[in-house]
Amino acid sequence: MRRGLLAGVAVLGVAVAVAGCGSGATKATTPGGAISVSASPGTAELRLTDSANNTTVHATVGQTVVIALGSSYWSEVTSSAPQLLQRVAQSHPMTSSSPSFCPPGGGCGAQPSSFVAKAAGSARLTADRHVCGEAMACSPDQRTFTVTVEITG
């Protein structure tokens, strides 16, 4: 049974790699173990969510990077180098008050922010939160969102 499970995982990995080849995005593991995601040249927008936390992404000058964090508890996303990665738009959190989709105090909604790559270099996009639900403090590993953006000309 274990051999069958390992074979299934290997087939799934190959399928994901092949599917990613046609999408124009590439992924690679960095030396620190983080996943690096890059869009192909000419892609107008690179969209990132909570799952991009602690990763490195690659963008080109002129490309837009959109961060959509899945909780209204996140602070505003900021750039460590606004001259390289400049804010385009900051929307107010979009929350859902429907009990069937989000329990009261669940912090459901998106925290979208857009940045445009202005020049080559490296910048970090960061946000933080201290609450992960109604009266529920975040564990230390859930408090910070950080993505490094490597920009090429």
Q: Which domains does the chain have, with CATH numbers?
A: 25-152 (2.60.40.2020)
Name the residue among 49, 92, 43 with its Cα closest to residue 68.
49
Per-residue pLDDT reduced to its tens digit, 97-151: 444 566 556 666 666 899 999 999 999 999 998 888 777 888 888 899 999 999 9
Label the pairing between strands 78-79 and 45-48.
unpaired
The string of pLDDT tens digits covering residues 63-108 is 999 999 988 888 999 999 999 999 996 554 444 444 456 655 666 6
Overall pTM surpassing 0.85 (yes/no): no
Biggest distance spanned by C-alpha atoms of the chain: 55
